[in-house]
Each structure stands twice: as structure tokens, then as C-alpha cells.
Chains A and B, each alone.
Chain A
Amino acid sequence: KQEVTQIPAALSVPEGENLVLNCSFTDSAIYNLQWFRQDPGKGLTSLLLIQSSQREQTSGRLNASLDKSSGRSTLYIAASQPGDSATYLCAVSGSGGSNYKLTFGKGTLLTVNP
């Protein structure tokens, strides 16, 4: 059974700092990996999707990497801003016939202090 772990569970940083969020998964046979952002009382917003054949994806100040063989992904946020404060979720989709199904980590609660 796939398990996804996110470390740290919570992180507080001053504005402007660069930071890294970590995600690990137990079964390397994944189809893709997604990073989401969740604001309080809101749904999830997809940030980046990395296919299993890719190593990284970038969007603005965000960069996500994937090392499928070691079961790890990182989300790098450059020059953090208070508006980045949210819970960040990592999710992997299974391979084969269940690649529509996502397994989520519990998330990292990020607070960026002005």
C-alpha cells in the first residue's frame, strides 16, 4: 500500500527566505506526482504536476523535483511571501490501472511572517 510522508509538518519562516518542503513515498511505481496548495476553508489548488519520466517542473518561484527511484520529491519556494502561507500537499498517482487515484500526504503547514 502506497504511503506518502511530508516533512516538516509545519514550518515558519521570515519573508524573503528560500525554503524546501519534502515529500517521500514508499512505492516508486507511480504515474505522476502533484503538489497542491490548500488555503483554510478552501479546496486544493494544483501547483505543479511531474510525470514519472520527468525530473522537475518549474512555475514562477516554485520548483518541484522528483527522484522516483528513491521515492522523494521536493518543492522549492524562492523568495517566500506572506501570501505563500498555506498548507502544501503532495500526492502521487498509482501506476497501471489505478493511475487516476491519488494518495496524499498529510501536508506541510507553511507560515511566512512579514
Chain B
Amino acid sequence: GAGVSQSPSNKVTEKGKDVELRCDPISGHTALYWYRQRLGQGLEFLIYFQGNSAPDKSGLPSDRFSAERTGESVSTLTIQRTQQEDSAVYLCASSPQGRQLGTPLHFGNGTRLTVT
């Protein structure tokens, strides 16, 4: 079956521009997560959705970052006024359940964002 799909796979943007990253989770998965992987660093948690609500957005680095989810499906991560330190791979994951996480996360292939 289809896995988690992310688009675009690569994005190069100029400093100061806004970007939107898209995630299509596995159908029926109620929980959705965004993580960031910067070069040489471990994955960092950004935000968690349960359905269309985000009970935990504590990992968003600044108010330039926002995310939404609609139809308990697609999610969009938006970065406004991009900075060079935003360059990273942004990974989306989904799971059938959020709290009481007893099942593995399914990750997409990520979007590699480069800010020049």
C-alpha cells in the first residue's frame, strides 16, 4: 500500500522567501508528526497532530514556522521569511494512534530544503 508521501523532495529557495512543504500520511492514520534533521544532528521534533488539532507544537523553532492539517489527512508545514539556518531535511511521519504510542511511526522520504 501507499506510504507517507512528501513533496517536493527537494526545494532550493532564496533567503527571505516563504516555502510550503506538504505531507500526505497513510490513509486512516490519525496521528501526524513533523521532524527536522539538520546536517550532523539528530532528528528534532517540530509538531504533533492528532486529527486536525495540534496538541503539541512546542518544537517549532520560531513564529516563522507554522503547520496545519485538514481532513485528518494532508498537512502543510510553512516557513516564512526563510533563513539559512532553516536548511535541513524535513520529515513527516504518521501512525494509527498518537498518545499511547505503541506502534511504529511510518516516515516519508523527506523534503530537503536549501536556503541560499
Residues of A that sit less than 8 Å from B by CB: 4, 31-32, 34, 36, 41-46, 49, 51, 89, 91, 93, 97-107
Contact = CB atoms under 8 A, between A and B. Distances in A.
B42 interface: yes
Given A43-B91, A100-B48, A101-B48, A49 B43 contact: no
B110 A106 contact: no
Interface in B77-114: 91, 93, 98-110, 112
Say what secondary structure dominates the interface of chain A. Answer: strand
B65 interface: no
Interface size class of B (residues with CB under 8 A): 20 to 34
A45 to B, nearest CB: 7
5 contacts: A34-B104, A44-B91, A102-B35, A104-B42, A106-B41
Given A43-B109, A49-B104, 18 more contacts: A31-B101, A32-B101, A41-B109, A42-B109, A43-B4, A43-B6, A44-B43, A44-B91, A44-B105, A46-B106, A89-B43, A91-B43, A100-B31, A100-B101, A103-B42, A104-B42, A104-B43, A106-B41
